Structure 1
């Protein structure tokens, strides 16, 4: 881990960056992606990294929860604690990925500030590293966020350009995101001065800057939307920069007409006539089953319309990604990335 104190004084932007003048997020270099479990936040983070790497840019996709979800999405081997290229974006851009391991990050930290070298490796064998990150969760979060923020601020030796045009973090779920990012508060009781405190301060300078945006992923369902609303309120209360809301797995209505109009609801007679016109012999069982499906679909449209209005009321940029019938594979990620680009994310 490189000390943020040594690089955080550099504030000017390089002219080459992901999220240029045609993007909703011009100047943002750290995109933190959170969302309620089950909303597909890892898939959205991966698609965002691909979108930002378009046209020759270079992005880093960071995982902090140890689930190896990024490796599964990109159909590659488990990610080690090192930055590895995992994909090429349209236009020749590159996506690198890193699974941040808190134990390895702490070893980097100990070597950097205390020059422990091989002694640190010995501490890991004794279990001291795991012990430290377990009893001090605030320290663990400083290490995880610190590694990502260091990548944001890292410069190429010689020409002073950014190593990465953008960094995308697949962050913890919405219920924990404010606490995870607000590392200053979390380490207040652990260290009020010294290297740990200085590192937390440097991390917060990045996280609270205009270079950072925290995006939330939701589904058009009551619980995920409410958790998104609560998450936005918590982020704002802690002074963290709220980004946009990505509505994932959006399903188009089955017909163009407004299905919430009771005057247009299907009746048994209309459905019977339609089936006959299509060359299908209707039965009471078939008609009843189709009517039940139509009512369920109409109810879903009403619910999704209400939840969409709730999301829009947040006053944040909003993006919608389609439900992929075959699930999210590598080809699906590229489709989602293109959808994000078309909506102005990158």
Structure 2
């Protein structure tokens, strides 16, 4: 397993949920993971039902087997203060720059610098070691930007090429890219079994491969249970309406006479079956598209009642059973 696990996906596919479940899944048998958020949405805090995350690494969960999950919401301005302190020892002068708005100005006019700071903080956590020589974190999981900009976000070396040819910023970008383009990193894409998310996944993988960034797995999220298979659907299409009405009546859903409750239920029931058939066909077509990409493919179930902390642990268990951790 790569030590930096980057999770991206089209908006609405649940990439933050999958990233959180992956962090829990990897924190097995006493291992320690760091879950990193870079978009400032505090989605991780909501999932783990805790208060908003500060700019510090904080333990937010214990996984089965005693593993620990820490979380960090990276603030670009505070990351830049860390950077200035690390390379220039600015101390209080750096804080004064923040009050003057200089840091916000710098990250606004040079967005590439912002991405260097965000990815750099995650890569620093990957490389960090304790005095004993052991890595501080066994895995770092990044809840990354959506598929549409993940390649640009990760390919920070190109982003800062026009900002700095030499010096600390250039060196920092080079150090980040050595991690991001190595076997230490894997970029996973989250999708749904729908045409637009699948197409964006296909395009995103092509872009990542073109940039020589390491693609990991495809995780299909919110998969609905398969109620009927192909044979069931074919049989349902061939059954006369009168037979369906009699079956409903036999089940206690109204009288058998014409105009009874059972008769009135036939059309809605057959309409629902047709809608299910269309969705069933579409989902199988999208699975075939994803299978052609030649990557490990995993599926996570839809929780009809919504996602809560118990559901998050259930998704982590699903990932472990599917061999993701």
Q: TM-score, normalised by structure 1?
A: 0.90
Shift of 1:277: 2.1
Residue 335 of structure 1: SS of its match in structure 2? helix
Pick from 182, 196, 202: which aligns with 1:209?
A: 182
SS in 1 for 2:231: coil
- Which residue of the other structure, out of 211, 226, 232, is the alignment partner of 1:253? 226
When Rg is computed on C-alpha atoms for both structures, the one with the higher figure is 2
Structure number with higher helix proportion = 2
Is 2:274 aligned against 1:295? yes
Q: Does 1:328 align with 2:313?
A: no
Q: Name the structure 2 match of 1:227.
A: 200
Q: Which runs of 5+ in 2 are unaligned?
A: 255-260
Hey, what does 2:92 align to over in structure 1? 118
Q: Deviations over 1:98-154 (max 9, x none)?
A: 000000000000111111100010111111111111111100000000000000011
Which of 84, 88, 109 is residue 135 of structure 1 equivalent to? 109
- Deviation sequence 1:293-341 (CA, Å, 0-9, x none): 1100011000000001101110000000000111110000000000000
Q: Point out where structure 1 has 5 or more consecutive residues left out of the alignment.
A: 1-25
Number of residue pairs aligned between Structure 1 and Structure 2: 319
- Kindly indicate whether residue 31 of structure 2 is the aligned counterpart of residue 51 of structure 1: no
How far did residue 260 of structure 1 move? 4.8
Q: C-alpha distance in 2, partners of 1:139/1:209?
A: 21
State the partner residue of 1:18: none
Does residue 83 (structure 1) correspond to residue 62 (structure 2)? The answer is: no
- Write the distance in 2 (CA, Å) between the matches of 1:56 and 1:269: 61
Kept in 1: contact 2:246–2:262 (CA 8 A): no
Q: Which runs of 4+ in 1 moved over 2 A?
A: 255-267, 282-285
Distance 1:139 1:289, change over 3 A: same
Structure 1 vs Structure 2 CA RMSD? 1.2
Aligned to 1:146, which of 97, 107, 120?
120
- 275, 288, 292: which one aligns with 1:313: 292
